[in-house]
Amino acid sequence: MAIDRIAPKLVVSDAAAAIEYYTTVFDATVLERHNDSGRVVFAELALPDGPTFQLKDSDEYDRDPHQLGSPGLLLTLTTDTPDTLAARMTTAGGHTVFPVADQPYGARQGRIRDPFGHEWIVGTAIPAESD
């Protein structure tokens, strides 16, 4: 069995606002968007270097993190500028769960909750010091 890719689909309370947020803070591009009765039933966005993710408005079948009371999963973004990305995310309405800082496991990471309840770990590896 071959699996070509895996793409997270984020369920949000306001997909139109989420698309605006993600295109602003991640410089994402909307590849596809389908509406039905004023609601986004499917959208796919691409990050600048190619990875994609999907999103849709919450409905009777799929609940968003605010309805669930939990983000449900954590999304990790690896970037060479985690401090800058975290600042962009919070300036656009996200909330810092924990600030970007050097971690004891060899990474510089922080966690941001976006306005739609999803939590993003933003970080980069810290080069190992040579002995």
Confidence grade of residue 131 (pLDDT, cut at 50, 70, 90): low
The answer for residues whose C-beta is within 8 angstroms of residue 102's C-beta and 6 or more apart is 108, 126
Architecture of domain 70-130: 2-Layer Sandwich (3.30)
What are the boundaries of each domain within the chain?
7-58, 70-130
Q: What is the pLDDT of residue 122?
A: 96
Overall fold of domain 7-58? 2,3-Dihydroxybiphenyl 1,2-Dioxygenase; domain 1 (3.10.180)
Confidence grade of residue 3 (pLDDT, cut at 50, 70, 90): low
Q: What is the pLDDT of residue 128?
A: 77
AA letter at 28: A
Q: Quickly count: other Cβ atoms within 10 Å of residue 55's Cβ.
A: 22
- Asked whether residue 53 carries a pLDDT value surpassing 90, the answer given is yes
Same fold, 7-58 and 70-130: no
Query: Of 47, 52, 49, 48, nearest to 9 (Cα)?
Result: 52
Average pLDDT score over residue span 39-53: 95
